[in-house]
Structure 1
Amino acid sequence: MKLLAVFATVLLAVNALTDKDQWVAFKQTHGKTYKSLLEERTRFGIFQSNLRKIEEHNAKYDKGEESYFLGVTPFADLTHDEFKDKLRRQIKTKPNVEATLAVFPEGLEVPDSIDWTQKGAVLDVKYQGGCGSCWAFSATGALEGQNAIVNNVKIPLSEQQLLDCSKPYGNDDCEHGGLMSFAFDYVLDKGIEADSSYPYKGIDTPCQYDAKKTVLKIKGYRNVSISEEELKKAVGTVGPVSVAIDADPIQLYSGGILDGLFCTHNLNHGVLAVGYGEEDHLFGKKKFWKVKNSWGKDWGEQGYFRIKRDANNLCGIADKASYPIL
């Protein structure tokens, strides 16, 4: 009910602003600039179209007809096709055939709900910027989680190192993406530095890895079988798990449980499954996955989103799940 109250307050504030007011605020908040007056007018027209989409959807949410609501995000000046194009090369589709599948024992006790953010195993939400490096943020999230759980060490790890140095393992640059399991292959061989010693720049730079600055090594990693039940076992008993999704529906997501009616299994965004649970709704309980994103704390639910669980592997959330072993 608290979320509904907060949403209602935000909705009233948004409705009190003109399109132009919201446009000015949007540009200031996200540091948006455009090459020409013509481009800005075009972007403003797209922004207005997205505002109408937000208003129409949120009217349904207010009536209990939708389980999530929309808002002005950093991508509100893009058409949906432009947003899809921005995502489409971020995740490699080539499978890692050498990876070992996780095998969980029969009769494994798995909690009904869990949230690793409340257990201190999830570090602050980060921002990948304009680089297609989501896979690196997903990988460091899983590594940071295991480091916190196993070693009780909480150190932000270097996405830039993975971006610069893991190309021989199958990953690519800001334009062509990568895969979390390829990042784990690299860390298995080389280890990884802290973000403080190899900070994120959001552009491709030459590899500057210094083995003397390694703060974490791993023994290996496991891929999870394509099953929400297996993913639940992994998240429920191991910790945060790297996953990939079809992120097309989350361009304007601001809160609630995404139902993903128009989702596919065309995976285009790497994220981190950090928990699961269920929530009361007008038409009954809704099960969800809680997922950490890499689009900053101002996006979604303070950088996180929730997506419907036990819904035929919605948006392909269980298709490419993996986690490191320390």
Structure 2
Amino acid sequence: MAHRVLLLLSLAAAAAVAAAVDAEDPLIRQVVPGGDENDLELNAESHFLSFVQRFGKSYKDAEEHAYRLSVFKANLRRARRHQLLDPSAEHGVTKFSDLTPAEFRRTYLGLRKSRRALLRELGESANEAPVLPTDGLPDDFDWRDHGAVTPVKNQGSCGSCWSFSASGALEGAHYLATGKLEVLSEQQMVDCDHVCDSSEPDSCDSGCNGGLMTNAFSYLQKAGGLESEKDYPYTGSDDKCKFDKSKIVASVQNFSVVSVDEGQIAANLIKHGPLAIGINAAYMQTYIGGVSCPYICGRTLDHGVLLVGYGAAGFAPIRLKDKPYWIIKNSWGENWGENGYYKICRGSNVRNKCGVDSMVSTVSAAHTSE
């Protein structure tokens, strides 16, 4: 009986939150300030035209325009659902609002990860990171404030997120080792890295078709290192390998997998620099800003990103309290999220963190000679 009462109270609380969010939906504020849901449906085409102009979209003919309009309408409804499920963040129209979820996953997500390989990495990896002390960790920390993070990049229509996650971690590690921040090449990994997980023959790095950050670190160890972005620029497509070993500017000394423990993740972040992580990107297609902390989120990892810091108190007005969060650098350009960044809640009492603590790796850079 007590369980039934608790369930009814939980449902009532969720309904109250949903009503509060619906009364002032960030989606409506962004698309048509002062509008309502009926206005959004009735004037969807005018909102779509504004979206097209805002993001510089173009379609080959009237048929594709009509199709993208229908997808846009569906994504408006989807963003509203996300807002109800994730009220501490803001969801709405983004530059991906004319893509179906399947198109979005196929084009912008590229983390190749099986559950068996994940469990092996977390429990049996030879590269498991040693346990670090967690006493005295600062309440807030952000590597952007310490010069270890390069500007936000854009992977374009290529599932190469894994290479951006790996390069970002090595950029930070190289800065810690040398004091010099280098913008490193993702395209080298897209073109030249075809390393496979030894026990998962289907988990191979495959350019725009996906890859793994730990595979990328293994490739960089074998290849000798990574060229700069300037010497091996990004094209966003699978091209012929043009790696020139004489132009290496950063090298991997070793890499490790961090345990599923937030204290250890924070300690490794501070000691080793930004961390390569996997995440479930289910809410990221519609994300605008704020601290994402959805009531429901899967732990299937499909996107590689870079963990650069954490905060103790990101105010969540719907939940009427400050919420601690991780700071994540994405690779979809500065015109997505919070100038290219994503915040997601953290804390031992948070159940649905979209797998953000499930696949974390750290890399150390070797000193290289010019």
TM-score range, shorter chain: 0.7 to 0.9
Letter in 2 for 1:156: V
Q: Retained in 1: the 8 A contact 2:162–2:213?
A: yes
Residue 318 of structure 1 aligns with which residue?
357
What is the aligned counterpart of 1:70 among 78, 81, 91?
91
Alignment deviations for residues 82-130 of structure 1 (CA, whole Å, 9 cap, x no partner):
4345466533334566541111344653222101112111110000011
Q: Retained in 1: the 8 A contact 2:127–2:256?
A: yes
User: Where in structure 2 are the equivalents of 1:133-282 lying within 5 Å?
Assistant: 133-170=160-197, 171-189=204-222, 190-277=224-311, 278-282=313-317
Letter in 2 for 1:112: D
Distance 1:9 1:98 in 2: 43
Q: Retained in 1: the 8 A contact 2:278–2:302?
A: yes
Q: Which moved more, 1:133-142 or 1:169-178?
A: 169-178
Quote the offset at 1:275 in angstroms.
0.7
Residue 4 of structure 1 aligns with which residue?
none
SS of the aligned residue for 1:256 comes to strand
How high is the TM-score relative to the length of structure 2? 0.77
1:297 has 2:331 as partner: no
What is the aligned counterpart of 1:36 among 61, 65, 75?
61
Residue 15 of structure 1 aligns with which residue?
32
Q: Given the superposition, is the C-alpha separation of residues 99 and 88 from structure 1 closer, same or farther in structure 2, using an over 3 Å criterion?
A: farther
Distance 1:130 1:213 in 2: 27
Structure 2: which 5+ residue stretches go unaligned?
1-23, 36-42, 198-203, 366-370
Distance 1:99 1:141 in 2: 23
Distance 2:235 2:95 in 1: 19
SS of the aligned residue for 2:354 comes to helix
Structure with bigger gyration radius: 2
Report sequence identity in percent: 37
Letter in 1 for 2:241: C
Distance 1:79 1:68 in 2: 21
Distance 1:47 1:191 in 2: 43
Letter in 2 for 1:309: R
CA RMSD of aligned residues (A): 2.7
Alignment deviations for residues 138-160 of structure 1 (CA, whole Å, 9 cap, x no partner):
01111111122231111110000
Tell me how many residue pairs correspond in the alignment: 316
SS of the aligned residue for 2:51 comes to helix
Distance 2:134 2:308 in 1: 23
Q: Retained in 2: the 8 A contact 1:92–1:177?
A: no
Q: Retained in 2: the 8 A contact 1:169–1:186?
A: no
What is the aligned counterpart of 2:153 among 116, 126, 150?
126
Q: Which moved more, 1:148-157 or 1:207-216?
A: 148-157
Letter in 1 for 2:72: F
Q: Retained in 2: the 8 A contact 1:111–1:236?
A: no
Q: Given the superposition, is the C-alpha separation of residues 254 and 143 from structure 1 closer, same or farther in structure 2, using an over 3 Å criterion?
A: same
How high is the TM-score relative to the length of structure 1? 0.87
Residue 71 of structure 2 aligns with which residue?
46
Q: Given the superposition, is the C-alpha separation of residues 162 and 99 from structure 1 closer, same or farther in structure 2, using an over 3 Å criterion?
A: farther
Distance 1:8 1:159 in 2: 38
1:309 has 2:346 as partner: yes
